[in-house]
Amino acid sequence: MRIAILSRSDRIYSTARLRDACITKGHDPIILDYRHCYMTIEQGQPKIFFKGAEVKGIEAVIPRIGASYTFYGTALVRQFEMKRIFSVNESQAITRSRDKLRSLQLLARAGLNIPKTVFAHDAHNVDELIAMVGGPPVVIKVIEGTQGKGVILADTLQVARSTIEAFWGQNINILVQEYIHEAGGADLRVLVVGDQVIAAMRRVGRKGEFRSNLHRGGKGEAVAIKAEEAQLALQACHTLGLGVAGVDIIRSARGPVVLEVNSSPGLKGIEAASGVDVAAAIVAYAEAHAPAANVHDSVGY
């Protein structure tokens, strides 16, 4: 089976692992830098090009779309969908997950436990917004950000007030969330593929850092998650319509809480911590769901 991995580079760990997993399983992987693909849109003839050649013969797609290229990357995934080619994550699901506000609204509507969150474009009484999430310290997040970027812990009322007003002054949309003290700067990354939790790790932020992201110097360690945590991760993934996702969960006094759902989770940290071949599980998911190859579609680039 010919599988397209949409990624900026084959030197990225996750991309290389997925390529190797495809080869191990006897498939033919092709890595397409989605930034340099282009497409023609016309009735009944959706086409995709890369380096001057039409991309043909693809039977499944594994998108690894960076946050900065969500709009263009999801347009390309949509083009593959127009050609009736299976993608492990659909374009609309990726878009949902990248919008923190939209994803939280969907999770809340589905009845899942999320941090108490306030969203406003402007307000006469900033202190009232801060009080709504329990008062300082509060977490302030830019709506579109990944790997801990655009996330601030405001530990006093003055810092929270100044930060919120500064973002609003630049017309930047933010969320204000409660800070869950009992988590102690740690969270769980749960990797979901289809209807299964494949792997999990506990992430702990480096000293003096409340964000546990591995890109921020956090450390991952093996963890046995509880049944309710596994179920919450599955529900969060399915609520957003994702086939593959990394679900970030915090253990709180009121039970597990979903922080975020990542549609392009990194594989390096979780494979090292858990010892699980996550890449192979993702390729197996694509293999199981891709339709039979179109024998009339000759292979191009």
| CATH code 3.40.50.20 region(s) in the chain | 2-89
Question: Is residue 127 over pLDDT 70?
Answer: yes
Task: Dump pLDDT digits (tens) for 228-282.
Answer: 999 999 999 999 999 999 999 999 999 999 999 999 999 999 999 999 999 999 9
Which residues, listed in sequence order, are joined to residue 29 by a DSSP beta bridge?
Answer: 3
Classify domain 182-263 by CATH architecture.
2-Layer Sandwich (3.30)
CATH of domain 2-89: 3.40.50.20
Task: Record the tokens describing residue 248, joined without a space.
Answer: 């970030």
Predicted confidence (pLDDT) at residue 288 exceeds the cutoff of 50: yes
Computed over its alpha carbons, how large is the radius of gyration of the chain? 20
- Provide the 8-state DSSP code for 126: H
The whole-chain average pLDDT of the chain stands at 90
Instruction: Report DSSP letters for 94-113, one per residue.
Output: HHHHH-HHHHHHHHHHTT--
pTM, two decimal places = 0.88
- What is the rounded CA–CA span in Å between residue 11 and residue 20? 12
User: Which residues on adjacent β-strands are paired with residue 247?
Assistant: 190, 261
Q: Is the pLDDT of residue 35 over 60?
A: yes
> 117-179 has which CATH code?
3.30.1490.20
**pLDDT score of 185:** 82
Kindly report, residue by residue over 190-211, the tens digit of the pLDDT. Answer: 999 999 999 999 998 666 555 5
Cβ-based neighbour number of residue 163 at 10 Å: 18
Strand order in the sheet with 244-252: 219-222, 196-204, 186-193, 244-252, 255-262
List where CATH 3.30.470.20 sits in the chain.
182-263
Question: What is the pLDDT, as a whole number, of residue 296?
Answer: 40
Contact 259, 247 (CB under 8 A): no
Q: Where do you find CATH 3.30.1490.20 in the chain?
A: 117-179
Closest CA to 118 of 53, 46, 174, 198: 174
| Separation between Cα atoms, residue 276 and residue 122, nearest integer Å | 46
Other CB atoms within a 10 A radius of the CB of residue 154 amount to 20
Closest by CA position to 172, among listed 265, 100, 240, 67: 100
